[in-house]
Amino acid sequence: MHIDIEQISSGGYSNHEERILDWEFREADDRVFGKVKGKTRYVKADDIEEPYLKNGWDQKFMDESKGELVQSYVESVNKSPWTADQTWGFEIIKDQRRYVRHVYTYKGKEQHRIKLVYDWKE
């Protein structure tokens, strides 16, 4: 199983993500983040330790997915190490179902919890 995503940001910057859901590390050269390695899988929300990554999801989505989310873990491969642990799923945002990524990043003692909200068409 794999997920291929093409993201285009303002200014026309394009980024292609290829995620194979087997929880095996793969390296990539990202135009924004540099050299990284990451792994992706389906995971039960109950098996995730970080509360921010496992909470807040639309209950209908959690029922449909039998409590599974996509988890993506990425870390830098350079002299300034950082990590980004993500879960992907659906939430209700302003009365609309949206595809959402919860991102927990950390570098040393610095931590950030970020929510990326995407348009979604059923």
In the chain, where the domains are located: 2-118
pLDDT of residue 101: 96
Of 67, 62, 113, 69, the closest CA to residue 88 belongs to 69
Q: What is the pLDDT of residues 56-85, one digit of tens each?
A: 999 999 999 999 999 999 999 987 899 999
Q: What is the pLDDT of residues 101-118, one digit of tens each?
A: 999 999 999 999 999 998
pLDDT of residue 83: 95
What average pLDDT does the chain have? 90
Q: CA–CA separation, 51 vs 62, rounded Å?
A: 15
Confidence of residue 2 (pLDDT cuts 50, 70, 90): confident
Concatenate the DSSP letters of all residues of 3-23 into one string: EEEEEE-TTS-EEEEEEESS-
Taking 80 as the threshold, does the pLDDT of residue 11 lie above it?
no
Q: CA–CA separation, 109 vs 1, rounded Å?
A: 35
Tokens of 122: 């059923």
Write down the pTM of the prediction: 0.87
pLDDT of residue 72: 96
CA angle, residues 74, 5, 105, in degrees to nearest 5 = 25
pLDDT of residue 80: 81
Taking 90 as the threshold, does the pLDDT of residue 14 lie above it?
no
Contact predicate 41/88, CB 8 Å: no
Contact predicate 3/70, CB 8 Å: yes
